Chain A
Amino acid sequence: MAFPKPQATLRSATGIPTGRLAVWWLLASEVVIFGGVLGSYLMHRLGHPEWADAAIHTNTWIGATNTFVLLTSSFTAVLAHQAAERGDGKTAAKFLLFTIGGAFTFLGIKSYEWWYEISHGYTITSNGFWAFYYTAAGLHALHVIAGAIIMGIVAFDAWRNLELQRVELIGIYWHFVDVVWIFLFPLLYIAK
């Protein structure tokens, strides 16, 4: 709390708290970033039926496991928010730690999967499908890493009952990361 907030931060002419408003705007800009990648991927995929030959080498079960991990971490994130609303910072921090654990599990599974694929010769330069596969999933994984780091900071504050409104904000971001994966999963793994 070294930094004194200006009055501007505490005003709310729209009735929406400033932090939440900003996070939603951030997500709107993220939607178009991921929209750009996934839109480009989709139109290439439809124009190149031969990419299906590459797509069958992705592992649906690993993808499904990762979906499960992210859905669970989203669930704990929302529980953390619930606890923060009650003013229970310690419980919120604990649930956030669970969520961070989910993030690391996701990244661990992802690295195993990539290691397996790369060692079998399916690298980012192999063909168009793999290029999009690694780019889209990599961009998503970057968001997972960033989310985990920020969540660590938020959890640290929440443990001392400080800045509890941030628990909700990081939660909203985390659910968005989850939603992106919900779309990546069928696009990259299921549709063969």
Chain B
Amino acid sequence: MSETAVAVEHHADHAHDHHGSEGFLSKYVFSTDHKMIAMQYLFTGMGMAVIGGFMAYVFRMQLAFPGISVPGFGQVSPGEYNALVTNHGSIMIFWVAMPVLIAAFGNYCIPLMIGADDMVFPRINRLSYQIFLLSAVILLLSLFVQGGGFGGAWTAYPPLSAVGDYNQTSLGASMWLVAVALEFVAFLLGGINFITTLMNSRAPGMKAYDIPLVCWMIVIASILFMLSVGPLIAGAVMLLFDQTIGTGFYDPARGGDPILWQHLFWFFGHPEVYVVLLPAIGITIDIIATFARKKVFGYKMMLYTTVATGVLSFFVWAHHQFLAGIDPRMANVFTVTTLLISIPIAELCFVIIATLYGGSIRLTTPMLWALAFMAEFLIGGVTGIFLGASGADIYFHDTYFVLAHFHYTFYPIAIIGTFAAFTYWFPKMFGKMMNDTLGKIHFWGTIIPFNVIFIPLFVLGMGGQHRRIYNYEHFPELAGEGMYQLRELATYALLVMLAFQLVFFYNCIASWMRGKKAGKNPWESNTLEWTTESPPPHGNWPEGLPNVYRGPYEYAHPDREQDYWPQNEPA
């Protein structure tokens, strides 16, 4: 090992000489620095979120005011409506939640929080972003090809997705599928990088239980992703062959089976929910520990519970298919496992509440977001119980109840979790503090309309409103006055929420231009990323990488005057 140490010194010197003189391209576009790649992921993800949000605006307008010429889009045809909802779903999950929560914050936090100067494979990291960018471009192009974008829902069930005669968008469907497959490849590469970095590149002295929970969560999520996505990649190849060269993998008349796709999709699709959930929980717990000035209640318990969630998440996939014609005996099994998985998730919530209990809470903007994550996600979790029980699901299946349920899980994860993380690490990323007042205005302007959008949808779903309908005027039983009022309410709330995002963008730009300068550690946090400059230079710690002496959550230690105790401070 002594040989390694020598090599380390040598390379470190080399690295700094090399990066002294960078051009614009090598610094911002083809950078191998994990922080720059994180920024690239973050801004690509945010750009995609704007596009996905615009799609939501267009189809919500169509639903509330059927046939209206939507400002900024025009009249919505049924085919366009299908393409909009399909791509809204795909974009928000694969091109917003995944790149922002896992790739962006994983890239930014893991090396900084474990005291390394970069990811273990910087060039693979860069390649992963480039593939991701390519996939995003292909997806966006697919909206403009002949026949329009794919409209067979983000789950792409065959035969609708497999046969061009049925979906009328054969080119769009193939491009959509290729884009999703490329995106998976990008995250496989990224995931291997995260896992290896966490396992091998920790700072000297950092033991397994000294790693901040958010790093653990991102890595466990990457492992879940890696182990679940394989069958779907195989399935996507098969579906692509069905679409393009006319095989019959999913055509029962030719020896295939359409249910197979649903299984392969959800074998990935359900762990995927936890893939994006876990990083959000990790971010939340880190923020809550920092602003409650308290040690996380049950670090190990949290970690083991997460692993248990990960394992269980592989056993629940068929609860998406209770009505798809699966074997009824399997439906019983999957009901039980689905209800079981609420136990570890409840445990995670209790850990968060117990951490808050008795803390001296500072209600900063990131803390508000973290608390909101908890509250809103709970609603999503509780309504999931209804859907997980196969008996109740027969009634709720494919109604707006399902839709409201998963927006109450994914919105806290992808939007609230992202805002929490973004406002928390903004001082580190850009070296400036965000304006707290504007931040709070944006917070309330997002949270309140969010609930006003989706609570009416629960009610509509209970009233039997089916999900995939373009114009409710064709259905007298769904076109009542009361139902239209609820739909309009949801749409108005969406407009308000979108308008408040302008406050956020203004706040970002204004704070970045002329915000108060942030020091190294504005939140008085313990973890390693707060011990270097804001923003950190290439190589993270120019004066040498830190050593670690204690766990990440030593707040309010009784023997110390200061109420925090950075991980790298010798005892």
List the interface of chain A (C-beta within 8 A of B).
3-14, 16, 18, 21-22, 25-26, 28-37, 39-40, 44, 48, 51, 124-125, 127-129, 131-132, 135, 139
B residues near A9, Cβ cutoff 8 Å: 118, 120-121, 201
Determine if B117 and A6 form an interchain contact, defined as CB atoms under 8 angstroms apart.
yes
Determine if B117 and A124 form an interchain contact, defined as CB atoms under 8 angstroms apart.
no
Q: How far is the CA of A40 from the CA of B118 in the complex (A)?
A: 40
Determine if B248 and A128 form an interchain contact, defined as CB atoms under 8 angstroms apart.
yes
Count chain A CB atoms within 10 A of each CB in B119, B249, B255, B264 and give the residue with the most: B255
A residues near B229, Cβ cutoff 8 Å: 29, 32
Determine if A8 and B234 form an interchain contact, defined as CB atoms under 8 angstroms apart.
no
Determine if B116 and A8 form an interchain contact, defined as CB atoms under 8 angstroms apart.
yes
- Some 11 contacts from A to B, beta carbons below 8 A apart, are A4-B18, A8-B111, A8-B119, A9-B201, A18-B120, A22-B121, A25-B192, A31-B230, A35-B230, A44-B256, A48-B255
Number of residue pairs across A and B with beta carbons under 8 Å? Answer: 154
- B255's partner among A10, A36, A51 (CB-CB below 8 A) is A51
Determine if B264 and A36 form an interchain contact, defined as CB atoms under 8 angstroms apart.
yes
Q: How far is the CA of A35 from the CA of B234 in the complex (A)?
A: 9
Count chain A CB atoms within 10 A of each CB in B32, B238, B539 and give the residue with the most: B238
- B156: interface (CB < 8 Å): no
Nearest chain A CB to B541 CB, angstrom units: 10
A residues near B226, Cβ cutoff 8 Å: 25, 28-29, 32
**Range of interface residues on chain B?**
35 or more
Nearest chain B CB to A177 CB, angstrom units: 16
Give a binary string over B454-488; 1 marks a CB under 8 Å from any A CB, 0 the rest: 00000000000000000000000000000000000
Q: Which residue of A lies closest to B538 (CB)?
A: A6
- A7's partner among B8, B234, B255 (CB-CB below 8 A) is B8
Count chain B CB atoms within 10 A of each CB in A9, A25, A132 and give the residue with the most: A9
Determine if B199 and A10 form an interchain contact, defined as CB atoms under 8 angstroms apart.
no
Q: How far is the CA of A26 from the CA of B223 in the complex (A)?
A: 11
- B247: interface (CB < 8 Å): yes
Nearest chain A CB to B112 CB, angstrom units: 11
Q: How far is the CA of A118 from the CA of B200 in the complex (A)?
A: 49
Q: A4-B18, A44-B256 are in contact. Are A33 and B227 (CB under 8 A)?
A: no
- A135's partner among B4, B233, B237, B539 (CB-CB below 8 A) is B237
Q: Which residue of A lies closest to B16 (CB)?
A: A4
Contact residues, B1-35 vs A (CB, 8 A): 4, 7-8, 11-12, 14-15, 18, 32
B residues near A131, Cβ cutoff 8 Å: 238, 241, 247-249, 256
Determine if A11 and B201 form an interchain contact, defined as CB atoms under 8 angstroms apart.
yes
